[in-house]
Amino acid sequence: MFLFPFFYDKINIVLLIPLRRNLLLLFHPSLHQYLSSTIPKRDSFFQSLEEYAKDNQVPIMDPISMEVFIQLLRIKKVKKILEIGTAIGYSALRMADAIPNCQIVTLERDIERYHQAEENISKKDCGVRIKILYGDAFDLINETVQYGPYDCIFIDAAKSQYQKFFESFSDQLTNDGMIVSDNVLFRGFVYEESHDKRLKKMAAKIQGYNQWLLNHEHFHTVILPVGDGIAISVPK
């Protein structure tokens, strides 16, 4: 069980600070600039989705987190992925683009975003490889079973339901699979107290989820301080 709220280089302690738009930035600006410069340029389609998400406040993974996640998928050589929280289809499409042979099942309960995702998946001609299901995730458990088991389960939906998502879907994971939870540092509020009651309440729920993960009887978990924080859980 590990938690990394900061790390050391040879000279400085590099801390994480909360920023707007749900992102965390490594304190050393030149380091962040360097890391950003190493990210492969996305094609015009993905850039347009990123701009749309930014302009319309649609939560998607930030570029650095996305690259880390994709690399984990490559390392694990995943074939089947279950995503809880499609939004506009950005993550599912990035995964399909990076891992050519994988199949993805993704769940979305917001009807407008469901249709947006459908359209974006169609534009990328990924309808055969990405199966999008509409409805509440908990109502779709029996349906997702039909397409599993999964090498990776990606949780990126309602933060207050993370533990329930994990408990409800973890038995659909392969024995050597992994569960990835996004936004587990919640803008830094899990370690920096907020005076906003709503944010404070949500931060407490996520902090509770993190501690539950870190002490899970059947999973090893590490929290990586990239983007808004990602938790990677693998069976013991």
Beta-carbon neighbour count of residue 221 at 10 Å? 21
**Separation CA 59–CA 68 (nearest Å):** 17
Beta-carbon neighbour count of residue 184 at 10 Å? 24
Q: How do the pLDDT tens digits run along the chain, 236 residues long?
A: 444 443 334 333 344 433 333 344 444 677 777 877 888 888 899 999 999 999 999 989 888 889 999 999 999 999 999 999 999 999 999 999 999 989 999 999 999 999 999 999 999 999 999 999 999 999 999 999 999 999 999 999 988 899 999 999 999 999 999 999 998 988 767 777 767 777 778 778 888 899 999 999 999 999 998 888 899 999 99
Give domain 2-235's CATH architecture. Answer: 3-Layer(aba) Sandwich (3.40)
The closest of 158, 128, 153, 156 to 141, measured between CA atoms, is: 153
- Boundaries of every domain in the chain: 2-235
pLDDT digits (tens, 9 = 90+) for 174-201: 999 999 999 898 876 777 776 777 777 8
Contact between 78 and 153 (Cβ < 8 Å):
no
Alpha helices in 99-222 (DSSP H): 111-123, 141-145, 162-169, 197-214
Rg for the chain, CA atoms, rounded: 17
pLDDT digits (tens, 9 = 90+) for 53-86: 999 999 898 888 899 999 999 999 999 999 999 9
**Separation CA 214–CA 203 (nearest Å):** 16
With vertex at residue 40, the alpha carbon angle to CA 34 and CA 41, rounded to the nearest 5 degrees, is 105
Omega into 149 within 30° of 0, i.e. cis? yes
